[in-house]
Chains A and B, each alone.
Chain A
Amino acid sequence: MPFSTEPPASGERYALSASLDNARHLSSLLRAVHFQDHATCLATASGLRVTVEDAKCIQANAFIQAEIFQEFSVQEESVMFRISLSVLLDCLTIFGTSSLPGTSTALRLCYRGYGYPLMLFLEEGGVVTVCKINTQEPEELLDFDFCSTKVVNKIILQSEGLREAFAELDMTSEVLQITMSPDKPYFRLSTFGNAGSAHLDYPRDSDLMEAFHCNQTQTNRYKISLLKPSTKALALSCKVSIRTDAQGFLSLQYMIRNEDGQICFVEYYCCPDENITEAEL
């Protein structure tokens, strides 16, 4: 249901203003990266990027392109602020999280600029809620410097094949070990928990495998507690791309199709666990 535009006070233009007919398109994506309380939002002409980091080891980004919004305008080249993601999500879902068919919460986002709070206008069934969330100085974000030229191994899998695996990961294991290789076992997820070790093997000719480009055998370990939150993104997605570079940095990119069939992306970057060297494996 289209939401009428609030006229900006005293003729001022907002640094960022956006309208979205269905707030769920935003809230579900943000939930997929909600493993820390705070997030950094970056708005550019191409859309909104919300970044969450932890332990200087892991970074998750949720991308919502401008095309997803009914209206999206950014006055400067880019607008950046830090905000409580927990509060933002609570506000976006203020009318409840259960999705009844036919009903949706309409959203209007307004941000005047540096130092101003983020304003949210939410409407459902004629009831309007106005939220003002304080913003903070954006923190410097990690740059994993992950570009396609540096990728050593890459596979694209259908998410349904990984969902159960990630949901059932042996959390008594400290690490999740990922092996990618042009030879057997091709793609292997391993845990080393209290009960013993467990290995999940995906052959390169599996019908879950959409693309398989492995040039080198690589085995890397990542702290399982850092990667576990990515399960949320996996649950929403239809496809996932798994890439590693020469240093063992991991890139997980999730393709998410929303209720209207539009495509959004969430990506996770993770550093390998420094305590383990390949020699020990």
Chain B
Amino acid sequence: LSRIGDELYLEPTESGLSLRAVNSSRSAFAAFLFAPLFFQLYEPGSAGPDTELFRCKVHMKSFLGVFRSLPSLEKSVGKCLILLKPRASRLVLQLHCKHGVTKTHNLAFQECERLQAVFDTQRCASRLCAPARLLAEAVVHFPPTLAEVTLGTGPGGKISLRNYVEDDAEPSKTMVTELWLAEDEFQSVAVAPGSHITFCLKEFRGLLSFAEASNLPLTIHFDEPGRPVIFTLDDTVLEVHLVLATLSDLESSSQSPSTNGVSHLPAPSDDFADDLESYMAAMETSEGCSEGPPSPTFPLRTPQPAKSKPQEEEEEEEEEEEGAVPGTPPHKKFRSLFFGSVMTPGRPGPATTQEVLAEDSDGES
């Protein structure tokens, strides 16, 4: 998760503890759901009639600092206790180590809105399932600095992996690496022929190492270029989702709506978190939905003068916020996917936001 974002979102739910992260350009989202059975004891606390279960976010570095050296942790730590204390504003992580030693970390947290990407694996035309090792061995052929990779389906059911090269790159100075995997190397293949997607490799590598370490098969759900690719890992006590934005083709003018009755989120609590992210989310969803939402990814570097104004404003918003975006070259415009955190439940169409911090004069919400 630290490969994706700087903040770790903790959300205890009835079905388990969910740990999530999103990158700064909102083009990558990951969620790890640990079922109650994963823990020796799991008490999510009780949600009152007016309140939801408490959730918070902490700095990734602070959280990781508690679990500093894994090999020594494995040897010395017996139990880990995680307590969320809203009134004290502290997330308590207590490690019970050998020799009776107890390490208690009281981390400061921030309250946050629910972080949820909008995606639906059912709607993906293609699906691949492979042991993590296969993909790890494939990915090793690409340089560690490679930003994007294209996954495609070819003749004879073969699957290809190729590094993504920009159109304006000089042919004499670029190296293209392409490898083909036979269908039988995968555990299952159900793909639309001739399909391909391009996504950010850096963010994928993090999940791949986890999958390898936990020896779980990785499932890749994808659809048309521009629609997010979803990587999933499934276990009896763990569910992992990684959602990455993909580059859309210049040719394909698919303007399919990005938010289609998926992920109905609970109404935001009355104490609307006064932070920039939520504001952005509100701007995105209110603007995007009202116009008949465009494709979640912008075409590569095309100025797109024909695009409707609200979307342009969105672009500006994002660019202002982006600054240095790790793992996503700014000009690629992997546009942010999701976050209908202010969507009213039950209505897939344009959302009437409960509270928008700053109304745009051209907005329709």
Contact = CB atoms under 8 A, between A and B. Distances in A.
B65 A195 contact: yes
A95 B91 CA distance: 51
A194 B62 contact: yes
Contact of A198 (B72, B100, B101, B105): B105
Contacts of A207: 99-100
A131 to B, nearest CB: 39
Contact of A199 (B62, B76, B104, B108): B104
A140 interface: no
User: Which range contains the number of B residues in contact with the other chain?
Assistant: 20 to 34
Contacts of A170: 65
Given A195-B62, A198-B106, A168 B68 contact: yes
Contacts of B101: 161, 200-203, 206, 208
Given A164-B72, A170-B65, A196 B100 contact: no
A198 B61 CA distance: 14
A161 B90 CA distance: 27
A161 B97 CA distance: 10
A161 B99 contact: yes
Contacts of A198: 103-106
Nearest to A208: B99
Interface string A82-120: 000000000000000000000000000000000000000
A205 interface: yes
A197 interface: yes
Contacts of B104: 198-201
Interface in A173-220: 194-203, 205-208
Nearest to B103: A200
Given A203-B100, A208-B99, A196 B105 contact: yes
Among B62, B72, B100: residue with most chain A CB under 10 A: B100
A57 B76 CA distance: 34
Contacts of A161: 99, 101
Contacts of B99: 161, 202, 206-208
Contacts of A196: 62, 90-91, 105-108
A199 B66 CA distance: 11
Contact of B102 (A164, A197, A200): A200
Interface string A46-88: 0000000000000000000000000000000000000000000
Contact of B100 (A195, A199, A202): A202
Contacts of B61: 195
Nearest to A162: B101
A168 B67 CA distance: 11
A226 B91 CA distance: 29
Interface in A200-253: 200-203, 205-208
Nearest to A164: B72
B102 A195 contact: no
Nearest to B59: A195
Nearest to A204: B100
Nearest to B64: A195
Contacts of A201: 101-104
Contact of B103 (A194, A199, A203, A208): A199
A170 B103 CA distance: 13
A168 B105 CA distance: 13
Contacts of B103: 198-201
B73 to A, nearest CB: 10
Contacts of A203: 100-102
Nearest to A195: B62
A50 to B, nearest CB: 32
Contacts of B68: 168
The 9 closest A-B pairs by CB, nearest first: A195-B62, A206-B100, A196-B107, A201-B102, A199-B104, A208-B99, A203-B100, A197-B106, A196-B106
16 contacts: A161-B99, A161-B101, A168-B69, A195-B107, A196-B105, A196-B106, A196-B108, A199-B104, A199-B106, A200-B101, A200-B103, A200-B104, A202-B99, A206-B99, A206-B100, A207-B99
